[in-house]
């Protein structure tokens, strides 16, 4: 028993030493934060065993008072930023309208994301117009399709295209493998039958087509750049994968607008072209948008009408793979095989190198102009808020009362898709 108690005394002494150190650190933190010194309340331990001799009490316990809860409505003037950039999701910029700071809204994958209800979408359209009305602000899109889409609903005439560059790949076209890739990496179920048809057509001439994920469950960008070309079966009009392929100077082949429109009408190949398609498990799509075209927009067809081949073809002509130069289109898989066989792939890649160099300069110039417009003649921190609450800031800067912003979407299925990564950009 004596030996046990000696060991217990050693252990308690060690605990006391650790506790003393922790107490000192807590006290130091409290002093740094302006708290009054903590009260130390000793407490005697219960007996260890009935026959055990008296042992030292454990180190005193430090009582820390509750930390003050910060004001749920902080003073807007305390937010030390010069501007706000809202990319994906652009509607988040509604939160920042109260600050009176310059804003850049860059739309992507349909600007109503996050505001899919009729009321929320309409409120966001109004607020986006108000944002665009301030000459310091910029409302843009990262692709031509979404720029036209924003114009359709808002009536704005100037929605510049400010694309992503994606120069981070650090890989360039260097074909060492024979397979023609089918991309993007995500080929939806609606495209599996088309992949099989493409492969069968290639076999007639010994041309091998492989899906990216068939060859590479995990890949480096240099793996993708080691193939002769990429054939698109697109699920969207603009994706980061396509930006990356182009920056790597890989020759790209895409279905013609007419062919893709027929696939979309029949199979809904572009399963994320509209938000109705994303959330509708039947993949029928809607026959039109929940809100009307802006009165002064002047477009011939509704972009969300998936029941009209004419409407689909009218809108998909603004897809990245039709707007960007040096991308070859095909009218059938037989036509595809013939065009790949006859193409000067290295020559195409060389032209893509030149286009990428030109585009990089253009993108940098566009951003310089945006920053010049936002900050010309102003010092850092000079553009700012004079109101101390969000409500006051919204009233002064945009004449908006609480409740006039779009309510965020709470559709459970949609949020589950977003959280699971099913929705890709």
**Does residue 416 lie in a domain region?**
no
Residue 337, pLDDT above cutoff 80: yes
| pLDDT band with cut points at 50, 70 and 90 for residue 144 | very high
Do both 278 and 356 map to the same domain? yes
Domain identity same for 107 and 251: no
Please tell me the total count of domains within the chain: 3
| pLDDT score, position 41 | 41
In a domain, 170, yes or no: no
Please say whether the beta carbons of 99 and 137 come within 8 A: no
Assess whether 275 and 319 both reside in one domain: yes
Mean of all residue pLDDT scores within the chain? 82
d(CA 386, CA 267): 54
Mean pLDDT (whole number) for 377-384: 67
Residue 208 and residue 351 in one domain: yes
Residue 340 within any structural domain of the chain: yes
Within 13 Å of residue 34, how many CA atoms lie on the same side as its CB?
2
Quick one: DSSP state of residue 49? S
225/347 same-domain check:
yes
326/179 same-domain check: yes
User: In this structure, are 46 and 102 located in the same domain?
Assistant: no
Residue 207 and residue 237 in one domain: yes
Query: Cα separations (Å) of 251 from 232, 298, 324, 337, 401?
Result: 11, 35, 12, 14, 52
Q: What is the CATH number of the domain that holds 245?
A: 3.40.50
**Residue 283 confidence (pLDDT) above 90:** no
Percent of the chain predicted with pLDDT > 70? 73
Query: Alpha-carbon torsion 315, 316, 321, 327, what sign?
Result: negative
pTM: 0.76
DSSP state of 409: P
**Which band of pLDDT confidence, cut at 50, 70 and 90, is reported for residue 58?**
low
Determine the structural domain holding residue 221 and report its residue range. 175-360
Lowest pLDDT segment from 39-48, 67-76, 184-193: 39-48
Q: Do residues 202 and 322 share a domain?
A: yes
- 406 in any annotated domain: no
Instruction: Reply yes or no on whether the pLDDT at 43 is more than 70.
Output: no
Residues 189 and 331 in one domain: yes
Of 279, 182, 196, nearest in space to 234 by CA: 182
Shared domain for 213 and 331, answered yes or no, is yes
In a domain, 422, yes or no: no
- The answer as to whether 250 is a domain residue is yes
Q: Is residue 233 part of a domain?
A: yes
Are 242 and 99 in a shared domain? no
């Amino acid at each position: 028993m004596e030996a046990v108690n000696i060991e217990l005394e050693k252990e308690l002494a060690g605990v006391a030493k650790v506790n003393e150190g922790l107490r000192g650190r807590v006290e130091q933190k409290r002093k740094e934060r302006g708290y009054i010194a903590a009260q130390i309340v000793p407490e005697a331990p219960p007996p260890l065993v009935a026959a055990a001799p008296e042992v030292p009490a454990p180190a005193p316990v430090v009582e820390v008072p509750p930390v003050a809860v910060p004001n749920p409505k902080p003073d807007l003037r305390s937010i030390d930023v010069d501007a706000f950039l809202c990319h994906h999701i652009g509607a988040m910029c509604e939160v920042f309208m109260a600050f009176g700071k310059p804003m850049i809204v860059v739309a992507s994958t349909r600007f109503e994301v996050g505001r899919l209800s009729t009321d929320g979408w309409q409120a966001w359209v109004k607020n986006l117009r108000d944002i665009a009305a301030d000459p310091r602000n910029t409302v843009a899109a990262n692709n031509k399709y979404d720029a036209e889409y924003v114009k359709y609903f808002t009536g704005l005439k100037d929605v510049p295209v400010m694309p992503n560059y994606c120069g981070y790949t650090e890989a360039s076209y260097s074909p060492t493998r024979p397979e023609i890739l089918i991309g993007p990496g995500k080929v939806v179920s609606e495209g599996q039958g088309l992949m099989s048809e493409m492969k069968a057509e290639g076999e007639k001439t010994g041309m091998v087509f492989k899906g990216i994920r068939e060859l590479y469950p995990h890949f480096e960008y240099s793996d993708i750049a080691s193939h002769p070309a990429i054939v698109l079966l697109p699920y969207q009009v603009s994706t980061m994968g396509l930006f990356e392929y182009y920056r790597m100077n890989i020759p790209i082949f895409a279905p013609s607008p007419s062919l893709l429109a027929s696939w979309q009408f029949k199979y809904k190949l572009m399963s994320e072209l509209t938000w109705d398609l994303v959330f509708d498990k039947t993949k029928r799509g809607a026959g039109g948008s929940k809100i009307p075209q802006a009165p002064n927009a002047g477009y011939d067809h509704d972009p969300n009408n998936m029941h009209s081949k004419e409407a689909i073809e009218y809108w998909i002509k603004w897809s990245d793979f039709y707007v960007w130069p040096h991308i070859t289109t095909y009218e059938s898989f037989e036509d595809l095989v013939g065009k790949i066989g006859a193409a000067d792939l290295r020559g195409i890649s060389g032209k893509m190198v030149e286009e990428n160099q030109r585009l990089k300069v253009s993108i940098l110039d566009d951003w310089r102009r945006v920053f010049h417009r936002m900050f010309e003649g102003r010092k850092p921190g000079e553009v700012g808020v004079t109101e101390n609450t969000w409500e006051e800031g919204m009233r002064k800067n945009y004449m908006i009362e609480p409740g006039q912003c779009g309510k965020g979407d709470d559709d459970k299925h949609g949020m589950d898709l977003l959280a699971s990564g099913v929705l890709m950009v």
